[in-house]
Structure 1
Amino acid sequence: MTIDRVLPDAADLAPSPFSGRTIVHVVRQFYPMVGGLEDFVRNLVRRQTDRFDRVRVVTLDRLFIEPDKHLPQRDTLDGVEICRIPFRGSPRYPLAPSVLSQLQGADIIHVHAIDFFFDFLALTSLARRTPMVTTTHGGFFHTASYRQLKSLWFNSVTRTSASRYKGIACCSESDFARFATIAPTRVRLIENGADLEKFGSASAERPGKGLITIGRFSHNKRLDLLLDMMQQLVRRDPDWRLHIAGSASDWSEADIRQMIDVRGLGSSVILHVGPSNTQIREIMQQCSLFASASEYEGFGIALIEALSAGLVPVVEPNAAFQSLAQKHAMVRLARFADPAAAAGSVQAAYAALEGEGGGLRVAAIASSGQHGWAQTAKLYEDFYRTALA
């Protein structure tokens, strides 16, 4: 099977074919939650407010990182309606059947991620004639845990649910390969867009021995291995600093601080919990490299945003990062399970930065441009047009 790689014109989007229509996005977590999935949906929907008559996001009324705090049932952000609904059960598969009451008036429903919403809306789809599409966002294969059970679920429940969707947008080549096995006529590759302005040119203008990693403190990010590498790096050169920017998830802030202390890295690793984008920009001004030991990524938006800042990435060769490394020559792959070798990769990346005299930083910023939102928004309009046909 070939992958459709339609490259749209860089020109502004044509007059909207969706005038008078309503689109409803369904996603388990949204603003004020910050993360790859949430940022993607926010960037997509804010580009649709002048394309559709109404844009609505249906999401859960509590953030997984603050389960005791209830958010307002109704809200507005960037001209987009937000409807929040209650749920019960585990954050890994939150049950929220009241989603059905929020779909009135929808001309198309866009479900994000493969979770309860994906399965439940498929199960109840016969009661509606509203076309549905979905974006995979990595599915549920983020870790190797329960791999056999996940495979069984994917080839039974997910396969059945997928048959109820008009289209399945896969945000990476690895997702495309996986979902093509259960829905070959419905899948298409639409790689995630990245906000290139958010951290644009934010890195240190002159090479400095600063690293940054960004993301939730989830097990698949393997911050433990990143800290093992840092231990080796500091032994060779105590001037190195690692900035960890993110929010609690599988690991709490206390867990990460303990990992840092156990390795004797208290003076070399700086933890930033829940930083704003402005604060992250300020941190990036002290850094020249981006590092990630993540064993799984749905697409790798953080890496693209790092490139847009002018940071040179040194990352684990998971499927998403390997794919991006083929498109961005400055991305360096390193297996963090071997901390000494990974530390060597960081040193080599820094040496290349010094040797290029600023050229590598400029090249990284330029290379990120292929992931701008103009392309992604156009591809999603084509996606919706096909579903509505």
Structure 2
Amino acid sequence: MAIVEADRVRENPQLGEAPLIVHVVRQFLPNRGGLEDVVANLGRQTVRRGYRVRVVTLDSLFTAPQDKLPPRENIDGIEVVRIPWSGSSRYPLAPEVFRHLGDADLVHVHAIDFFFDALAWGRLLHRKPMIVTTHGGFFHTQKYAAIKKIWFRTLTRASAMAYRRVVCCSASDLRQFSEIVPDSLLIENGADIGKFADIASRRPKRRIVTIGRFSVNKRLDHLLDAMAALTTRDPEWHLDIVGAESDLNRADVEAAIESRSLSGRVTLHVSPDNGAIRRIITEASLFASASEYEGFGLVALEAMSAGLLPVLNANDAFATLADRHPVIALADFTNAKTAATAIETAYEDLSRQSDIVRAELLDAARGYSWDIVAGRYIGLYRSLNVAAEQN
């Protein structure tokens, strides 16, 4: 046991008695995004159920690699350890991860990246039982699609053999990973349904919110094209773009807005806190996403919990959600006019029966509560003989 860990156990003897789950993930708080939210919410729920939780992650954000974060921190009872890295944000190299697994009862890897491969091939060094959650794999765009498929069917298949269970967070992931791991397990992601619960405007407004990283695959360009079509039909339409810089930065998005003459019709909010996001949502009625790929569609569920009616691009993850929850509207955002019409239709439906639509949205979101989803993960941990006392 490391000296630091031994000191923590002496200060609180109960810590030494509880099983330790070590989550390994490339980005974590204070970064904001679907992956980070999933690990944070699962970690908090696991702590409440009597486990110790450590998150091993990289020591800087991909958007600001030169700004080093504290090497150790405690966030909501979760021990956070940040380690140096090099290489690309697509496949960051961080071999120091092995130094922080020695006292783990279970290692839970998130996403298919360097950590997934390194911990698989180094299992004879650490000898820890492992599970992995897929989070969409690495097929977020069609770029290098042929190479990705070869990698998936060879190296990913080989690495997966080191894991006790491969957990898929969406039906589309399950279809894909079952090709290489037939006994893959489905545990869909949870949503923080309390964060923005029931705060969307009570009066239907022609105001749309989109939330997510400024990534190429989110296709903000397609959403802005739809907005350009909408505003020619009715100048009251307004879009709030909320998110953090990623493949695209603030200047890129601002240029895309200005090039479509949407200044004044589109407001950009870069890395706002939850309080600011709440204020934005309270003025809106619709949520839209033109994303061409999603691992699960977490942000759409959080929007639904707020009472925002989603209009979503018909990718696999969003189509699965819409099949399950018909209140969700699907659109083809590669066609600006078609997408604009879908948004108008959603607004008209909301205007006609706003109370009924809102009730359907809130009811659908409740099924994705983290309390429910964490219980499924705890069941998996226990099946692997990693038990803890219930609080």
2:20 maps to which of 19, 22, 29 = 22
In structure 2, distance between residues paired with 1:157 and 1:388:
28
Farther off after superposition, 47-56 or 257-266: 47-56
Q: Equivalent residue for 1:6?
A: none
Q: Equivalent residue for 1:90?
A: 88
1:305 maps to which of 286, 290, 302 = 302
In structure 2, distance between residues paired with 1:183 and 1:386:
19
Contact 2:306-2:362 at 8 Å conserved across structures: yes
Q: Equivalent residue for 1:266?
A: 263
Distance 1:19 1:194, change over 3 A: farther
Q: Equivalent residue for 2:389?
A: none
The answer on 1:104 being equivalent to 2:102 is yes
Q: CA-to-partner distance for each residue in 1:186-242, whole Å, 9 max, x for gaps?
A: x10000000000010111011001000000000000000000000000000000000
Q: Equivalent residue for 2:176?
A: 178
1:249 maps to which of 243, 246, 249 = 246
Q: Equivalent residue for 1:64?
A: 62
Q: Equivalent residue for 1:282?
A: 279
Output the TM-score relative to the length of structure 2.
0.93
2:46 match: secondary structure: coil
For 1:28, the aligned partner's letter is R
Instruction: Give the C-alpha shift of residue 53 in structure 1.
Output: 4.3
For 1:99, the aligned partner's letter is V
In structure 1, distance between residues paired with 2:290 and 2:307:
19
The answer on 1:355 being equivalent to 2:352 is yes
**Higher helix proportion, which one?**
2
Contact 2:45-2:371 at 8 Å conserved across structures: no
1:39 maps to which of 30, 37, 40 = 37
In structure 2, distance between residues paired with 1:150 and 1:79:
37
In structure 2, distance between residues paired with 1:129 and 1:94:
23
Contact 2:305-2:362 at 8 Å conserved across structures: yes
Output the TM-score relative to the length of structure 1.
0.94
Contact 2:131-2:165 at 8 Å conserved across structures: yes
2:39 match: secondary structure: helix
The answer on 1:157 being equivalent to 2:155 is yes
Contact 2:201-2:282 at 8 Å conserved across structures: yes
In structure 1, distance between residues paired with 2:299 and 2:136:
14
Gaps of 5+ in 2: 1-15, 387-391
In structure 2, distance between residues paired with 1:364 and 1:212:
16
For 1:244, the aligned partner's letter is I
For 2:59, the aligned partner's letter is D
Contact 2:54-2:81 at 8 Å conserved across structures: yes
Contact 1:113-1:136 at 8 Å conserved across structures: yes
Report 1:175-254 matches (<5 A). 175-185=173-183, 187-254=184-251
Farther off after superposition, 48-57 or 336-345: 48-57
Q: CA-to-partner distance for each residue in 1:354-385, whole Å, 9 max, x for gaps?
A: 10042212221121111111221111012112
Instruction: Give the C-alpha shift of residue 328 in structure 1.
Output: 1.3
RMSD, aligned CA: 1.2
1:298 match: secondary structure: coil
Q: Equivalent residue for 2:10?
A: none
Distance 1:367 1:53, change over 3 A: closer
Count of residue pairs the alignment pairs up: 371
In structure 1, distance between residues paired with 2:140 and 2:354:
38
Q: Equivalent residue for 2:131?
A: 133
Contact 2:102-2:126 at 8 Å conserved across structures: no
Aligned structure 1 segments of 4 or more residues deviating by more than 4 angstroms: none
Farther off after superposition, 376-385 or 214-223: 376-385
2:313 maps to which of 304, 311, 316 = 316
